[in-house]
Amino acid sequence: MTRIFKLLACFVVLALTACAVPKAAQTPDVDGLRRALVAMGDFVAADEADTVARLSYAYSLQLRAEYQVSDPPLVHNAKVNKGRKPRGLCWHWADDLEARLRSEDLQTFSLYRAIANSDNLRIEHSTVILAERGAPMETGVVLDPWRYGGYLFWAPVAEDTRYRWKSRAQVFLDKRN
């Protein structure tokens, strides 16, 4: 029995360690995000890309404090679901970041909401995707404040190897049918 308990304890420690935030993710790369946004196309205004990059990092950290995040995302989710934390599920992060970005009245970007894992056994995940105005979601950049518990993850949609993103509208339509 003791051996099983030790194995289980090791598994839990390894699982939680795998959820840890990489050190690199804790260091904002505002300039890298700004460059990625500007590179989306000629229509993107550099000053607007700079605003979005700075705001996305700062607001993610603000939400981290407001949501009282002190654990890896899946542990925090469990606390939210049990009523021990106020907010912090992925869709909370996505709703709040989307609303904050929309309040900037962006002229050179389109905002999309996306969901991953809607068609398999893994936990669904929601996020915000920013693309050049009028461009399809798939050409944009994922802005995911949930993934690392308030330390913003970003990557071009095509380079996000962890999730296969679908438009939220399409996921909702698929679920109705």
Query: pLDDT tens across 57-76, in order?
Result: 999 999 999 999 999 999 99
Half-sphere exposure of 35 (CA within 13 A, CB side): 4
- SS3 state of residue 164: coil
Alpha carbon of residue 175 to chain centroid: 22
List the domain boundaries for the chain. Answer: 23-176
Backbone phi, psi, residue 163, to 5°: -135, 150
The tokens describing 36, both together, are 């990625």
Average pLDDT rounded to a whole number, residues 147-167: 96
**How many Å apart are CA 92 and CA 129, to the nearest integer?**
15
**How many Å apart are CA 19 and CA 62, to the nearest integer?**
21
Alpha carbon of residue 112 to chain centroid: 12
pLDDT score of 118: 86
**How many Å apart are CA 108 and CA 105, to the nearest integer?**
9
**How many Å apart are CA 154 and CA 145, to the nearest integer?**
8
Which CA distances in Å does 85 have to 58, 71, 118? 21, 11, 25
Query: pLDDT tens across 12-46, in order?
Result: 444 544 456 666 656 789 999 999 999 999 999 99
What is the H or E stretch that residue 129 is in? Answer: strand 125-132
Backbone phi, psi, residue 46, to 5°: -60, -40
pLDDT score of 10: 43
What is the H or E stretch that residue 77 is in? Answer: helix 73-81
Query: pLDDT tens across 80-89, in order?
Result: 999 999 999 9
AA letter at 125: H
The tokens describing 43, both together, are 């229509």
